Amino acid sequence: MGILSEKSLHFAVRIIKLYRHLTVDKKEFVISKQIVRSGTSIGANINEADYGSSRADFINKMQIALKETAETEYWLNLLILSGYLSKQPGNDLLNSCLEIKRLLVSTVNTAKTKGQNGTAEIPPLE
């Protein structure tokens, strides 16, 4: 298991625990469903990318994981700002999310710029 897969798996476990906290302790059911879907989807797409049928398939799955990371970042910020999630645990989760996001951007950029002969095939993200 690579570092990105490992980090996203541990992040998903934390998101599931957050979901449990939100639904049981805070009685919040709308945002909690959104964040559990996006937060666990990150690792699922990374895992699927590892078995991609081509470089384009790999890049596509990693970009989906990146989009899910951006969505999860939004929900975490919303939970922190609305008071459903206290600042310290919220920021810890947010920092983990941002770390995964940075790793995904780097991975996608590397995959896009490494053609068969070292030439760029797809423009990198900015």
Packing angle, helices 30-49 and 87-113, rounded to 10: 30
Q: Is residue 14 part of a domain?
A: yes
Number of domains the chain contains: 1
Q: Which among 2, 101, 119 has a CA at the least distance from the CA of 49? A: 2
The tokens 């939970």 sit on which residue? 79
Structural domain including 100 reads 3-111
Do the domain assignments include residue 125?
no
Rounded to 10 deg, the angle between the 87-113 and 3-24 helix axes is 150
pLDDT at 115: 59
Give yes or no for residue 125 having a pLDDT over 70.
no
Per-residue pLDDT for 109 more than 60? Answer: yes
Sign of CA dihedral 46, 51, 57, 59: positive
Let me know if residue 123 belongs to a domain.
no
Answer whether residue 126 is part of any domain.
no
Residue 1's pLDDT band, with cuts at 50, 70 and 90, is confident
Q: Is residue 117 part of a domain?
A: no
Tell whether the model's pLDDT for residue 91 goes beyond 80: yes
Q: Please indicate, yes or no, if residue 116 is contained in any of the structural domains.
A: no
Q: List the CATH number of the domain containing 89.
A: 1.20.1440.60
Q: How does residue 84 score in pLDDT terms, banded at 50, 70 and 90?
A: very high
Is residue 56 one of the residues assigned to a domain? yes
